[in-house]
Structures are given as C-alpha cells and as structure tokens.
Amino acid sequence: MKSVFVINSVPYNSGDLALLEALIYFFESNSIKVSAASDSPKFLEQIAEVEQSILDLHKVEHSRIMNYVSYGLEKFCGINLDLHILKNPFLSIRKKKKYFQTALQADAIVSAPGGYLNDHYSITERLLVFDSLLKKNAKLYLIGQSYGPFEKKESIESIKKLFNKCSIVLSRESFSFARVNKLGSFKSAICPDIAFLLHKKLKLFKVKKTTKVKRVAVSFRPWKSDALNSITIEKASALCNYLIDELHFEITFISTCQGIADYIDDSKFCGEILCKITNKSKFVINKEYHRPEELIGAYQNFDLYIGMRMHGAILSMLGGTLAINIAYEEKSHGLYKDLNIKELCLDLSNSSQEWITAIEKILKNFAMYENKLEEIVEQSSNQVFSKLENIFID
C-alpha cells in the first residue's frame, strides 16, 4: 500500500484532530502517503502534514439561490429542506471531480476515526458518499469508530449494507464491537481509541506521584436539548462548588472544543456554569484553542481531569494526568470498561450527589489509579499500532 485517502475528518475539534494526527503518524511511519478530505480543508492544510487537503463531498457548497429557497420554505411553510442530502446542481463540478480523482488514485479510502455513525447525527449524507465510492470499486476502511446506537429501521438496513462492503469495520470499544457483530457477519475487529497512538509519536507521558489533589481541569458540553443542558449546568455547578468549597480545589475549564469561530465552543457553555459558582476566584475558564499536543501539555499542569469530552480524558491520560469521564454516550463507558477502569467513568444521567460520591471514592484510591496510567497508555498505544499493521501492512 502506497497511499490512502482519509475522509470525514474534523480538524476544528482537537479530539478529532488527535485521531487524525495519530492516523497520519501511523501511515507516515510506514511510508504511506496521506491525502485528506474535511469540512475545513484550508484549516487542515495549516495544521496537518498531508499530501493534499480537499473539501469533503458531503459538505457541499450551495448557491445563494438554494439557500434562499431553503430559508423561505422553512420560515413560511414549515418545511425543513436538508440541502446536504439533495443532488445539488450547483455543486462545483471541479471539486466533485477532484474528490473522486483523489479517492480513486489512493490504494485505500479510510473514514476518519470518531463517533459519527449513529442516529443522533445525520448519517444520510455520509452513507450517500460511501455508496458512491463503493460503486466505483473503492476499498473502504471504517477505522476506530463507535457505531450506533441505530434506532431507525432504515439506518440499520443501510449500515448493514455498508458494513458488508467494507474492507474492515474496526471498533474502538467493546459495546460497538458487539453491536457490529450482532448486525451480521462482517470483517470486524476491535482496538483501543486511535488517539492513544499519539503516545508513540509525542512521548509526552510523565509519571506523577500526586500527594494531594489540588488543581483540577474540567470540561462540560451542551448535549441534545436545552432542557438537558439546563440540568447539566445545575449538576456541574453543584459539583464544582463542592470541589471548591469542601475539598478546596482550584478549577480550570479547558476543552477539546473551544476557541474556533463558527464552531462548537464549550467555554461559552461553561460561562453559564460560572454564573452559579459561589467562589469565582477558584474557577477559571480557558477560552483558547489548543492543538492535541498543546492540550496534553496543558492537562499535565493539573492533578486530575473531570469532564464530558472523551478525548479530553484520553489526552489527559497521554500526559500522565488521571481522568474521570462523565459519559453522555456509551462510547466512554466502553472505553473505560476495556481499559479496566470502568469506575472512573460516571454517567451524565447521574445526580450531582452521585458524581460527588463516586469522585470521593476515586480520590481515596487516587495513587492506585495514577500508578496504572503508564501501563494503560503504553498497552493501548501498542495495541493500536499492532492492529493497524495487521490491517494495512501485513
């Protein structure tokens, strides 16, 4: 294999960028050239070492006329016209030609690792692109994904057809792996999250011997609905007030999604949490954008990470900082279960008191968990590299 074309990458999200950087590192380590398609190709060119960067096909550019039509139908007729799933006659022929030319010149098409193949997100657009590529006899590899849940009958049937045509369906945690195998007999496999491979590239892990937890990094994000977000704000502020007032911790908010205009910014959500913090002098919001390497370094300045962003937890661990994840999807529970530290993964549905009780228990055994980190990171990194070698090299 001499070249791959990575599609569906999202470089604005530092967690997704960590996945992409890890994947690029693996391919370059094996002298395989990488081209990539993303929703922001110009930004990707600035921050990632790829042969070329182009616009993802499902991120079509619509004419001003089509945008006006869509706006009018929704405002005056109540019809939500999803332009992305239409065969858009105004789509640049040159860009479409470039996409398929790049795809068909590559030895493999790799759908970037992540958690976007489920019914929470719209999968129709991506399925159309996958189908177009497969009809042109492209070799499609689904790598390091969390799959599902799939609640719609049409989603299940479409996903089964897709899996059946893929060269590999690689899951990043056991819940997804079980779901894939339940759907049918496919070329499926499992390994830890691809981001762990950054351990081999960056070598930033520092062994810590924390005697007293004092500085804590947190991250919270909006999820699903305003009603649920309001509940999250109440619970997060209750937790943080407890950590500050009762345990005398210093808290800094820092996330994988922040500091980029026109993209999800968790720091804005955290501003609503700050309003409910009693001792605001002990609660700081970091609003800067950080690349994965910078985030690992930033998290190293803390004794503990507590947050909803799964890759915030992984990047913390890559630097040697213990991470408690508050799961809003089952992918985090699957990750922590497979790492044999499932008690460090809480659930968004739990009450703030349940979070506090679980965290107090973890703090009592802090040294034990901290001592496990180096082995967890080393083993996970080795497992990822070995699995990718089996898929792409052997």
Please tell me whether residues 184 and 223 are part of one structural domain: no
* Cβ atoms of 378 and 199 closer than 8 Å: yes
Residue with tokens 């980029």: 260
Is the Cβ–Cβ distance between 14 and 45 less than 8 Å? no
Read off the tokens for 245.
């007032």
Q: What is the distance of C-alpha 135 from the center of its chain?
A: 28
Q: Quick check: 51 and 66 in contact, CB under 8 A?
A: no
Dist. CA 320–CA 280, nearest whole Å: 28
Eight-class DSSP state of 61:
P
State whether 90 and 220 are in the same domain.
Answer: no
* Residue 225 and residue 184 share a domain: no
Residue 332 belongs to a domain with what CATH number?
Answer: 3.40.50.2000
Q: Are residues 211 and 165 in the same domain?
A: no
- Do 368 and 384 lie in a common domain? no
Torsion region of 87: left, alpha or beta (phi above 0 gives left; psi -120 to 50 gives alpha): beta
In a 10 Å sphere around its CB, with 0-12 CB exposed, 13-18 middle and 19+ buried, how is residue 226 labelled? exposed
What beta strand segments (E) does the chain contain? 3-9, 33-38, 53-55, 108-111, 114-117, 140-147, 168-171, 188-190, 215-219, 250-253, 283-285, 304-307, 322-327, 345-347
Full pLDDT tens readout for the chain, 394 residues: 899 999 999 999 999 999 999 999 999 999 999 999 998 889 998 888 898 899 898 765 444 444 445 545 555 666 554 444 344 544 567 788 889 999 999 999 999 999 999 998 878 889 999 999 999 999 999 999 999 999 899 999 999 999 999 999 999 999 999 999 999 999 999 999 999 999 999 999 999 999 999 999 999 999 999 999 999 999 999 999 999 999 999 999 999 999 999 899 999 999 999 999 999 999 999 999 999 999 999 999 999 999 999 999 999 999 999 999 999 999 999 999 999 999 999 999 999 999 999 999 999 999 999 999 999 999 999 999 999 999 999 7
Question: Cβ of 394: how many Cβ atoms within 10 Å?
Answer: 5
Same domain, 316 and 342: yes
> Quick one: pLDDT at residue 73?
55
* pLDDT score of 92: 64
Do residues 373 and 387 share a domain? no
State the residue range of the domain holding 235: 202-379
* pLDDT computed for residue 96 by the predictor: 84
- Phi/psi at 259 (nearest 5 deg)? 80, 5
pTM for this prediction? 0.92
Q: How many domains does the chain have?
A: 2
Residues 234 and 317 in one domain: yes
What are the DSSP calls for 369-387, one per residue? HHHHHHHHHHHHHHHHHHH
Q: Checking DSSP bridges between strand 33-38 and strand 3-9, what pairing results, if any?
A: parallel
Angle between helices 153-165 and 124-135 (to 10 degrees): 30
**One domain, residues 90 and 112:** yes
Q: What is the DSSP letter of 200?
A: H
What does the alpha-carbon distance between residue 144 and residue 140 come to, in Å, rounded to a whole number?
13
Does 237 share its domain with 277? Answer: yes
Do 139 and 12 belong to one domain? yes
| Residues 118 and 223 occupy one common structural domain | no
